[in-house]
């Protein structure tokens, strides 16, 4: 579905995060747009309204959707993310156990036992929204967000895992922390994770932090 949502904006609804990333990559390659912003189930396109009439933009976008786009392919690589669960690094693990009725060991087992896909990068630079969480771990965001969540923190909320690439406020339930540096300033690719990548979590001991 294609929707006009401003003088210089169109929103394209898509079926999945993977579709959003593939469409955004295709539109960026064309070079015709001021901004292309993928979300979980949509892509926002900003165009130069002073140079291009909105109906011309609509026609171009509709043509792209009719032709379809190639899916993104990241190869067979799976990024392993070590996590120390609980304690000072995972202050919400006990509350999660109380809410779900699971033990800490069961939470960790469920969280580390499957493969995930990075659905989107956003909120703050490098913050990764990772889809595919087991429904038994599904909890809402905290009623009172923290003013500061440390970089590397691993949180869960609304069926996803959130990875904090840098310190920021946040309302996810923090169950652990990774020693992996997710944001490397000055690097050619400053963010370790990108939308579409596959990841797995691995439980580690405190000394690995």
At residue 123 the predicted structure's pLDDT band, cuts being 50, 70 and 90, is confident
Alpha carbon 144 to its chain centroid, in Å, reads: 22
pLDDT at 183 over 80: yes
At residue 8 the predicted structure's pLDDT band, cuts being 50, 70 and 90, is very high
pLDDT at 72 over 80: no
Domains and CATH numbers, the chain: 2-67 (3.30.1360.40), 78-208 (2.40.100.10)
H or E segment to which residue 60 belongs: helix 54-67
Between 18-32, 78-92, 162-176, the lowest mean confidence (pLDDT) is in 18-32
- DSSP annotation string for 129-156: EEE---GGG--PPPSS-EEEE-TTEEEE
Partnered with residue 78 across adjacent β-strands are 198
Query: Residue 209's pLDDT is what?
Result: 64
């Amino acid at each position: 579905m294609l929707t006009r949502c401003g003088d210089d904006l169109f929103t394209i609804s898509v079926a999945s995060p993977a579709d959003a990333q593939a469409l955004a990559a295709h539109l960026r390659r064309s070079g015709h747009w001021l901004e292309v912003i993928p979300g979980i189930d949509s892509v926002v396109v900003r165009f130069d309204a002073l140079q291009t009439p909105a109906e011309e933009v609509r026609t171009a976008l509709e043509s792209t959707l009719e032709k379809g786009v190639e899916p993104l392919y990241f190869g067979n690589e799976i990024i392993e993310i070590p996590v120390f669960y609980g304690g000072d690094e995972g202050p919400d693990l006990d509350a999660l156990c109380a809410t779900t009725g699971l033990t800490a060991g069961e939470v960790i087992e469920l969280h580390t036992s499957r493969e995930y896909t990075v659905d989107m990068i956003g909120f703050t630079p490098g913050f990764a929204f990772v889809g595919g969480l087991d429904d038994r771990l599904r909890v809402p965001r905290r009623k009172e967000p923290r003013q500061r969540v440390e970089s590397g923190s691993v949180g869960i909320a609304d069926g996803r895992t959130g990875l904090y690439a840098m310190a920021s406020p946040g309302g996810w339930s923090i169950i652990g922390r990774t020693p992996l540096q997710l944001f490397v300033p000055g690097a050619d690719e400053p963010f370790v994770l990108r939308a579409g990548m596959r990841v797995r979590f691995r439980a580690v001991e405190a000394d690995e932090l």
